[in-house]
Amino acid sequence: MNIHDPAIETERDNTSIVVRPTRAQAEEAVRTLLRWAGDDPSREGLLDTPARVTRAYGDWFRGYDEDPSAMLQRTFEEVEGYDEMVVLRDIRYESYCEHHMAPIIGKAHIGYIPVDRVVGISKLARVVDAFSKRLQVQEKLNAQIARTLFEVLKPLGVAVVLEGEHHCMSTRGVHKPGVSMVTTTMLGDFKTDRGLRREFMDIIGSPTNRAS
């Protein structure tokens, strides 16, 4: 399924069927919003804005057309018995608040303990992107990333920490820029072994530690 296709489409997720409007309908919706904001979509500077916005949406929300589980199918078994923690930290992500459609900009930190096989590190970043390029709340995004890694890679444990600045809070409402929300999901050994959890948090430079 491709959000760029100029036709009504349907796709199924775990809970519902989504019927997508045509590109022309999407562009007309942008013109409506421009008029609602108080501007004239027919003036020169805005003539191409509806087309640009729909193209931008194709990039910002491309995660709906991506399968994070499929990204993890290729793994490597020649790891010489390596069974310690694998950590990828400071993965920049861009997501969008499902309540206001405002950006959420932040960093993801991922750790897992492999069992006989590892996955390419770029795939971890791709999984973050696949889920973040959707309308989200940070707590759900955090859980989706961790659960997918745990279910597909079948490691001993998975740890995911997200830090994010929510522009629905920094550019509207209470107008508090620079505030970072931190969420965590710990599965398997990371959930049951506090020492392991502490080691992971030390490696990524725990946001809690930085605040103290």
Between CA 1 and CA 174 the distance in angstroms is 38
Residue 106, C-beta contacts closer than 8 angstroms, at least 6 positions apart: 92, 93, 95, 138, 162, 163, 164, 165, 180, 181
Q: What b-and-e string marks burial along 171-185, b requiring 16 or more CB atoms within 10 Å of the CB?
A: eeeeeeeeeeebbbb
* Cβ contact 128:94 at 8 Å: no
**Residue 118 to residue 115: CA distance in whole angstroms:** 8
Residues with catalytic roles: 97-100, 138, 166, 168
Q: Are 100 and 168 in contact (CB under 8 A)?
A: yes
Three-state DSSP class for 76?
strand
Q: Are 94 and 56 in contact (CB under 8 A)?
A: no
Contact of 149 with 164, CB cutoff 8 Å: no
Determine the Cα–Cα distance for residues 198 and 204; give it in Å rounded to an integer. Answer: 10
> How many whole angstroms separate alpha carbon 169 and alpha carbon 7?
35
